[in-house]
Amino acid sequence: MSHITLIRHGQANSHAKDELSYDKLSPLGHEQAAWLGAYLRQTEAHHTRLYTGTLTRHIETAEGMDTGLEPVRDPRLNELEYFTLASLLEAQHGIAFPTEQGAFTAHLPSVFQHWQDGMIEEAPETWDNFHSRIEDALREIAAGPGPALVVTSGGLISMAMAQAMGLGIPAMARIALAIMHTSMHRLFPIGGHWSPVLFNAVPHLDRPDRRSAQTHI
């Protein structure tokens, strides 16, 4: 098994209320991607392969990183449709979409729990499908030669970490809320199992003039 470094995309359209309008990088998101790529080149980080989801924010982030690697685009690396799930949750259970950032700490685990329990009708995919497609994609990537970069989204990264550590929804939600844009998360194979050896690393943003660029939303 090869180790995998998961990267959350750069900041997207944080004012969006639906999947389509969210799916593009903000000007800051483009800067974050370029800074990460420059950091990887400066430190001579060794990666032989690059994978992304098929969402615009994934593709734009990978392009901005300018790794020189030809990306493999895999829809299994796409994010869960949070806006869609949240809209269905509100319509079916009266749980309103948050109007301020702090409310997401309760809203996100509620979405996850209702989704896992099959209580959101007409969801774009089941919880089990989201779980299995991530597991399958990462297993296939790990079977390839050399370390890989995977540009994806925060929900997917939190699920991958939860799978590796056997975590339930409350812990998975806390992980998801913590993940910063263009942060790096590494899964390393130890004893035939994934072990997280890096989480939420943003060395390219850890300097005084860029600390305001350490964004979550």
Instruction: Kindly report, residue by residue over 126-155, the tens digit of the pLDDT.
Output: 999 999 999 999 999 999 999 999 999 999
For 61, 117, 129, 171, the CA distances from 166, given in Å and listed in that order, are: 29, 18, 17, 10
Domain architecture of the chain: domains with CATH? 4-80+125-210 (3.40.50.1240)
d(CA 165, CA 60): 30
Query: How many Cβ atoms sit within 10 Å of the Cβ of residue 56?
Result: 15
The predicted model scores a pTM of: 0.95
User: Using 50, 70 and 90 to split pLDDT, how confident is the model at 123?
Assistant: very high
Q: Any idea what DSSP says for residue 103?
A: G
For residues 73 and 2, what is the distance between their CA atoms, to the nearest angstrom? 19
% pLDDT > 70, the chain: 100
When pLDDT is averaged across residues 64-73 and rounded to a whole number, the result is: 98
Average pLDDT of the chain, as a whole number? 95
pLDDT at 7: 98
What pLDDT sits at residue 145? 94
